[in-house]
């Protein structure tokens, strides 16, 4: 409900899965909780992610207090998004696992599968 309100969507159209069971059943990326969480977290940002951010307008390395650049990239859009981002972290057991699940989207066109 809180997320829906933050992004201006009707709460009835946004669904969440606190246990990530749906993600596991659909085999969405990062839903294999038997895999080490650190490795799963590293897979979330790949070279393709870096290349896509660098290719965007104003893509640039992240600077460490102006001393040197880190091997991470940012741009104006991401910088603006972080100012309004409010993490909605899961609660309870396996919090790290649940927070490393990437969302998924299923799109249907009429009766087509």
Residue 100: per-residue pLDDT: 64
| Kind of pairing between the strands at 60-64 and 68-74 | antiparallel
Whole-structure pTM value: 0.44
The pLDDT tens digits of the residues spanning 88-99 come to 777 777 776 676
The pLDDT tens digits of the residues spanning 27-70 come to 776 556 666 666 666 666 777 877 888 888 788 888 888 888 87
Give the contacts of 81 (CB within 8 A, at least 6 positions apart). none
Two tokens, residue 18: 């606190």
Report angle CA 43, 7, 2 to the nearest 5 degrees.
90
Two tokens, residue 52: 């896509």
Mean per-residue pLDDT for 71-88?
79
The pLDDT tens digits of the residues spanning 6-22 come to 778 888 888 777 777 78
Distance CA 51, CA 95 (A): 30
3-class secondary structure, 25:
helix
| Closest C-alpha among 42, 31, 43 to residue 97 | 31
Residue 5: per-residue pLDDT: 83
Distance CA 69, CA 29 (A): 29
Residue 29: per-residue pLDDT: 61
């Amino acid at each position: 409900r809180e997320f829906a309100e933050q992004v201006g969507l009707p709460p009835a159209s946004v669904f969440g899965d606190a246990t990530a069971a749906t993600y596991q059943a659909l085999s969405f990326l990062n839903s294999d909780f038997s895999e080490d969480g650190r490795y799963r977290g590293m897979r979330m940002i790949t070279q393709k992610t870096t290349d896509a951010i660098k290719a965007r307008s104003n893509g640039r390395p992240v600077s460490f207090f102006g001393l040197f650049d880190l091997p991470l990239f940012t741009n104006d859009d991401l910088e603006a998004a972080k100012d309004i981002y409010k993490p909605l972290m899961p609660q309870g057991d396996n919090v790290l696992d649940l927070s490393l699940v990437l969302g998924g989207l299923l799109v249907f066109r009429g009766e087509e599968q």
